[in-house]
Amino acid sequence: MFEGSYVALITPFSDGTVDEGAFQSLVDWQIREGTHGLVPCGTTGESPTLSHAEHERVIELCVEAAKRRAPVLAGTGSNSTDEAISLTRHAKQAGADGALVVTPYYNKPTQEGLYQHYKAIHDAVELPIVIYNIPGRCAVDMSVETMARLSKLPHIVGVKDATNDPVRPLRTRIACGPEFRQLSGEDAARLALLANGGHGCISVTANVAPAMCAKLHNAWNAGEHDQALAVQERLMPLHEALFIETSPAPVKFAASLLGLCSAAVRLPLVEPTPASRERIEAAMRSAGILN
């Protein structure tokens, strides 16, 4: 569990509310296309603008649609420890297989504060927890030493690494051990992480190219490293185009071109500019996922 191509699911909207039908259809399509795991209510799912009721409902919808065909790693992080505990408790109750818990944003806790935050969630809920370390959005970077301390707790099982530090995965592997799950939080860096002992990727690109993303990881695990590299090279322009503006606006536009959902995002995010749309569409055609 917690390896291969996981998709950081978008949350489709219609008339300002969660489009439950489109979301569950997306989950089903992802599984049929070969995606190895599902991550609802992460950054790509616009969790900062979901109400608590919407957040909990999206996780329930994901578990329901998955029907145990693929693991569900539910986003349950918050910069309030009590709120993160509440969301994690709900995820367990809903039937999620694990919780993805982002480092507390805005508060800028110390390393000891980070340790105590995750330990409190760990002690309150018996559910596997994957740390989400993304300094660019949270203004705090969990050190390898703090992660090593946390890895000793039985329910802290891995990290989604979005540091873009090519050395970090190997340092983490040495500090936390080879069984500690390491998932790339950057599509463009997934092969580098795999080469340094990582286990998979929580992918934005997989929202629109699930079969290709799964193929990359299947090839890598089969020892077909040249094949994995070839897939990554083909996807690289798409990886870059999907971050031409703040995610998930570009990937939701890309999904709309495939008829998966509308391109609507919630303020303060806005839909991509015409110039960005052209680049996204061109990258999709180059990758062969749009005729």
Q: For the chain, what are the domain ranges?
A: 4-232
Active-site residue, from 132, 152, 215, 252: 132
Given CATH 3.20.20.70, say whether it is the number of domain 4-232: yes
Q: Which pLDDT score, from 0 to 100, does residue 212 have?
A: 98
3-state secondary structure of 8: strand
| Residue range 198-235, pLDDT digits in tens | 999 999 999 999 999 999 999 999 999 999 999 999 99
Q: Is residue 152 flagged as an active site residue? A: no
Residue 132, beta-bridge partner list: 102, 160
Is 132 a catalytic site residue? yes
Q: Could you give the CA distance from residue 76 to residue 56 in angstroms, rounded to a whole number?
A: 9
Q: What is the pLDDT of residues 42-76, one digit of tens each?
A: 999 999 999 999 999 999 999 999 999 999 999 99
Q: Which of 115, 160, 215, 252 is catalytic?
A: 160
Helices (H), the chain: 20-32, 52-66, 81-94, 111-124, 135-138, 144-151, 168-176, 190-195, 210-221, 225-241, 249-257, 274-287
Tens-digit pLDDT profile for residues 138-173:
999 999 999 999 999 999 999 999 999 999 999 999
Name beta bridge partners: 130.
Answer: 100, 158
Work out the average pLDDT over 95-120: 98
Q: Which amino acid is at 17?
A: T
pTM (2 d.p.): 0.97
CA-to-CA distance for 174 and 165, rounded, in angstroms? 15
For 161, which DSSP code?
E
**Residue 1: predicted pLDDT:** 86
Structural contact between residues 126 and 160, judged by C-beta atoms closer than 8 angstroms: no
User: What value does the mean pLDDT of the chain take?
Assistant: 97
